[in-house]
Amino acid sequence: MFYTYKQFRLIVLLLIISSCTKSQQEYSVSDFTLTDVFGNDVNLYDILDNRKPVLIVTWTLWAKESIKELDALLSYTDELKSLNIQTLAISMDTKRSVPGILPFVVEHNWIFFYRILLDTTEVFRKLYNIQTLPTTIAIDRTGDICFNWFGYKSGDEKMVVDTLMVISKDN
């Protein structure tokens, strides 16, 4: 069987498109890879490739408002799990503080809900220009940032969950 030049170009184009992996998709957010408290690498684009919205909350062991927000969001565990939201709690603590992080998150029962990531080299902090703790970021399934919150006051967690419900339905 012989193909015309146009048919051949179309076949080649289709082969190229079909060979592209999901990880080659372009997202508007910047990609990062951080290590979790168990030593596993976690990559943002891998999460987005699985079509999961992402909630990111930054925190440190000494930032009381960050801890309050993460604790408050735990009361919405069932709702967020039903929406298939990937929740990341990114520690901005230094390498010296790392040994205290796992016992702290276990004590606060975060370990069963959040993926606890370590930003000891400030990759995430610099990439997303984090200057306030907590900073809360919601990313929809298409890789767009839907909202940023800076700081925390009691009741903000309800607004976060309401926003996540909207973005999970939109996509």
Statement: residue 141 has pLDDT above 80: yes
User: Mean of the pLDDT values across residues 1-20?
Assistant: 50
Question: What is the Cα–Cα distance from 20 to 116, expressed in whole angstroms?
Answer: 31
Integer Cα distance of 10 and 114 in angstroms = 45
* pLDDT exceeds cutoff 70 at 11: no
What is the spatial distance between Cα 8 and Cα 146, in angstroms, rounded to a whole number?
A: 42
Interval 89-106: pLDDT, tens: 999 999 999 999 999 999
Lowest mean pLDDT among 9-13, 21-25, 126-130: 21-25
Q: Is 39 left (phi over 0), alpha (psi -120 to 50) or beta?
A: left
Residue 38 Cα to chain centre, angstroms: 17
Q: What percent of the chain has pLDDT over 70?
A: 84
Q: Is the pLDDT of residue 5 over 60?
A: no
Q: Which stretches of the chain are DSSP H helices?
A: 5-19, 44-49, 64-73, 77-82, 98-107, 123-127, 156-170
**Position 52 pLDDT exceeds 90:** no
